[in-house]
Structure 1
Amino acid sequence: MHTNDFYLGLSCILVALIVKKESEIMEQFTTKIELPPELSKAIKAAVVNAINEAKDTSTNVPTYMSKKQAAKYLGVAPNTLDMWIRDGEDVPYKQIGRTYRFNRNDLDKFMATK
């Protein structure tokens, strides 16, 4: 669930950057039209909120997680995560004795390939 929030926030940032770059390119070929101040403020506020939510989501999740935290982060049941590990699904983890640790960044890369 947190991964989806992260990607939603990242998508908002990317859209804002694309719109900004597109407007810079289009400025060469078009007449500039000013948005009403209240609309401009509303758009800026929405983008800032999306960025802040994305930041909050990523900082609320520790860099290294237990098996239970990792399963919750991935949005799967702990039994599913156990099955993936047992079946050799290339889930990135470190095992120290009987303790498993999962790196958040590695889990994001893993899920991007699924």
Structure 2
Amino acid sequence: MENLHKTSFQFISEPSDVNFGGKVHGGMVMKWIDQAAYTCARTWAETYCVTVYVGGIRFYKPINIGEVIKVDAAVIHTGNSSIHIMVEIYSRDFSVHEFEKRRIVLSFLFR
């Protein structure tokens, strides 16, 4: 069986993701977090899941338009009716090969 408790998305940030300051909008980042966490939870649970709680979001560094984004989600705890998912966001410029952690979510609760 494959390692189903981890999910990773990679894509390029787009001009439609921009805020008034010229960086990726925080709401867009939260959308990416929710999508990756849902995919991870749904894969683990093999059934429909909903977001009940999101906490611990910290915006450390801005993400620039045109950067490669990597969103990693992993199951860190399961209960009788809950799944805790940790999500980390990384980005890099095309000229750099290593991702840099940009944003982190410390805990999610999906049921």
**TM-score in terms of structure 1 length:** 0.25
Is the radius of gyration larger for structure 1 or structure 2? 1
Higher helix share: 1
